Amino acid sequence: VKGNGDLVAIQTGPRTESKKTEVTVLSAASKYQRISLKTKTPLSLTLPIHIRFLVNWRGDLVCVYRGAGTGSGRTEVHVVSARSRYRRWVLHTATALHYTNSDRWEFGLRGNGDIVGILRKEPTGTKMTEVHILSARNRYRSFALHAGTAHPYAPHGVQFAVADSGDVLAVHEGPGIGLGNGRPERVYIMTLASHYKEFAIGTPKFGATASSSCTSGGCDPPQTPDLAFDGNMKKFWNGCCRGYPNQWLQYKFDSPTRITGYGLTTGSGECPSAWVFEGSYDGSTFTRLDQHSGRGCSNYREQVYRLQNPSLQRIFRWRFSAGVGGNSNGMVLREVRFFTNEKDAKGATDCYAQRTLVADEGPGVGNTLHMASFEACQEECSSIGSCNSFAYCQGERGKFNCHYKSKIIGAHDAATTNQRLLKGCKSFYKTECKDTKEDSGDAKETKACYKERTLVADEGEPLGHLDGNPSLAKCEEQCASILGCNSFALCQPNSPTCYFKKKIISEKDPAAKHQAAKMCKTYYKVDCKEEKKQEEECYGERTLVANEGPGVGDRIGVDSIESCEDECSKIKGCESIAVCISPGHTQNCHYKSKKVTLDEAATSHPKKLKECKTLYKTKCKGGEKIIRFDNSGCATDK
């Protein structure tokens, strides 16, 4: 809704009349009976799962691009101006926030333009719904606030909205909450002034009640069952002092809730080692959902248990039958949490990206030594609620040490300048897992073909980069998924990196003459049909011609002549190749625009005759005999 009350509707796709994302504005003055504007935007067709659309007080269209197809490796913000009738961009920027998704994150706008990100699902560092505010004043490149709220994790029956004041509204559905068919019934407001720790309207009682085998007359008074679900590890439930080890702990939701797993955090003693986890819809009949034995204490780290068959129930109960440590009179649980999402039910389903070690790693949340692989470290990080990244360092005897951090990092964080750490360590950070089913519908939109050429002098506006030793195919895939990406440079010094560009490039663009041209190549979009046609070309081989013609590029140090032929087929204007053997037995290819035939005069230069040959385009013929030569300069039949 615009500041004047006009309603802005966004039509995203998969089809629109203009083949672009479109905007329709309904006039508030006409009581929404008249369309005051209908227009296409510069934004391509999109899906709501990829972009969250917001409208600021001026009416500008604020597009929060979640990922994972952004060139910056972060959540991005792109703004279309209302003043231009939604036809002109006024801002493209990478934010301080890592990749996000529509399942766990919601976004809203404050009146001052700040973007309020609401992290509604586990895991979070505070074990509650969190708010992270991106500052409009700094073009969303820094945070104005990080806060754990008074609201627990929110199931599907809870929606969030942001007021101009910055207060956050939690809208709870009524009957059928969590099942998708409820009606709005309760609204709670968390205030910005309290950093979302207090409610302006009411104090909701989430999750109804927690109970256990120790009654109010038998429990240690300060260690009641509700303390296992309060998000505070300093407080805990103690089953002391009745019926050990056959004790139980129960949690009753105020509405049916689908659980996919649970996490238990214990101390170093008096923890359960065997139990049955069960659920009930009515409180009288319980169904076994999970069972474990021979477990140990987690030493203040969460252990996650995934249900093979997720279940919709109102009441969930753990029946303990054995324990370890302590004085053997009570089970102790410091924290319990439920998972309502398949991806989150097991930490190992988190996805991570690798990069050079960052300069500022942030606060540590634990270490593990002598790990066999980085996958083991990923699983460990995912099991630690506050872990968002980790340093993976070479240890002794082929093992690795992992140092877990709470800091949210990304591809653009500054790298360390410590040479020893650069050589021995890498940073891994959480990123969005790509859903192939979700992306398959966009295959036709993102398919693109690319040609390689020498690095251009003017590469154009940057759109981000991808490091971590990416392959050429990965760079092409990433460019195809970035809004406005038409070319990229692939540089291969010690660690290959792709740099994505907005500029439309052709073979006619002047080549770069600086040092980077030796390490980098430019790849630009071409017609896939033309690319396929070029792939079918064949080459003949002859003595080096006297007149080679103008050059259109060079490749120094190639593995095979076939790779030179493939490259010539991709370079616009390349019709022949001079292939030469250097004194160090290295093959070099020099691409020419001249069309060469067998009838042309050969060079009379003795050294060139010995070291070089000409390859020329010819019609493909079955069974054609081609004369090749090896690195020694001797001819061979192939």
Residue 495 has pLDDT above 90, yes or no: no
**149 and 173 share one domain:** yes
Read off the pLDDT band of 86 (50, 70, 90). very high
User: What is the reported pLDDT for 182?
Assistant: 41
The domain total for the chain is: 5
Read off the pLDDT band of 621 (50, 70, 90). low
Section 536-565 average pLDDT: 82
User: What is the reported pLDDT for 77?
Assistant: 94
Give every CB contact of residue 316 below 8 A, 6+ residues apart in sequence.
250, 251, 253, 259, 262, 277, 278, 279, 289, 338
Spatial strand order of the sheet with 400-405 comes to: 351-356, 425-431, 389-394, 400-405, 364-371
**255 and 373 share one domain:** no
User: What is the reported pLDDT for 456?
Assistant: 92
Helix (H, G, I), strand (E, B) or coil at 189: strand
User: What is the reported pLDDT for 227?
Assistant: 82
- pTM passes above 0.75: no
Structural domain span for residue 602: 537-637
Kind of pairing between the strands at 587-592 and 551-558: antiparallel
**234 and 339 share one domain:** yes
In a domain, 532, yes or no: no
Residue 175 has pLDDT above 50, yes or no: no
User: What is the reported pLDDT for 45?
Assistant: 81
User: What is the reported pLDDT for 236?
Assistant: 85
Q: How far apart are CA 555 and CA 540, in angstroms?
A: 19
Residue 630 has pLDDT above 50, yes or no: no
User: What is the reported pLDDT for 39?
Assistant: 92
Section 107-128 average pLDDT: 87
**486 and 553 share one domain:** no
More confident residue, 274 or 13: 274
Show which of 507, 526, 545 is a domain's final residue.
526
CA atoms within 13 A on the CB side of 201: 9
User: What is the reported pLDDT for 483?
Assistant: 57
Per residue in 19-47, pLDDT (tens digit) is 899 999 999 899 889 999 999 999 888 77
Show which of 201, 221, 248 is a domain's final residue.
201
Q: How far apart are CA 170 and CA 172, in angstroms?
A: 6
**37 and 153 share one domain:** yes
Read off the pLDDT band of 339 (50, 70, 90). confident
Query: For the packed helices 561-570 and 528-535, what is the interaxial angle rounded to 10 degrees?
Result: 150
**193 and 213 share one domain:** no
Nearest to 465, CA basis, from 525, 519, 512, 410 = 410
**420 and 335 share one domain:** no
- What is the pLDDT of the chain when averaged over all its residues? 78
Per residue in 418-456, pLDDT (tens digit) is 888 887 888 988 875 554 333 333 333 335 788 889 999
% the chain with pLDDT above 70: 81
**11 and 133 share one domain:** yes
User: What is the reported pLDDT for 632?
Assistant: 37
**607 and 486 share one domain:** no
CATH code of the domain in which 412 resides: 3.50.4.10
Q: How far apart are CA 375 and CA 394, in angstroms?
A: 14
In a domain, 1, yes or no: no
In a domain, 67, yes or no: yes
Structure letter (DSSP) for residue 117: E
Section 192-202 average pLDDT: 77
